[in-house]
Amino acid sequence: MLLQTVRPNIVQAIRAYRVEDLMQAAQNAGQHFLYANLTDAQSKQDVLEGIAQAFLFPAHFGKNLDALYDCMTDLVHKAGVQPGFVLVLEQLPDNARFDRELREQLLDVFREAADYWAERKVPFRCFYSFQ
């Protein structure tokens, strides 16, 4: 099984994995599969809006990194027992308006979420790619 070869709480480049295979692996494991295609995003605001729409965040989502963390952790945790997560952030921007520093800040939020879920023994795997 694909997920058995990936640490349970990690944020990593998608590399040789295919989105369809990750989705199937999440379904087979009974875990949530969250996918955001960010091809049209050019800025931090665009990326946060794209993630919020794709992941069905509540309307009151603050569109900042703190709110993203809250939505990926506390808000979901309060919803009840979670089976695990497989996330794909496809085509993160690579331009002057969303530079390496902003990408790392965004990915740090997902790394912190992975740590949060690891403490609760819930798998949280996030895969990403760049444009």
Buried residues in 65-93 as b, exposed as e (16+ CB within 10 A)? bebbbbbbbeebeeeeeeebbbbbbbbbb
pLDDT band at 129 (very low <50, low <70, confident <90, very high): very high
pLDDT band at 76 (very low <50, low <70, confident <90, very high): confident
In a domain? residue 4: no
pLDDT per residue over 80-117, tens digit each? 889 999 999 999 999 999 999 999 999 999 999 999 99
CB 125 within 8 A of CB 8: yes
In a domain? residue 1: no
In a domain? residue 87: yes
In a domain? residue 97: yes
pLDDT value at residue 2: 83
Residue type (1 letter), 109 = V
- Judged against a pLDDT cut of 70, whether residue 123 lies above it is answered with yes
In the chain, the number of structural domains is 1
CATH number of the domain encompassing residue 51:
3.30.370.10
Measuring CA to CA, how many Å separate 32 from each of 38, 48, 103, 121, 127?
Answer: 19, 20, 23, 15, 14
For residue 41, the 8-state DSSP code is: -
Alpha helices in 30-99 (DSSP H): 44-54, 65-72, 74-77
Q: What is the SS3 assignment for 104?
A: helix
pTM of the shown model: 0.94
Range of the domain at 93: 10-130
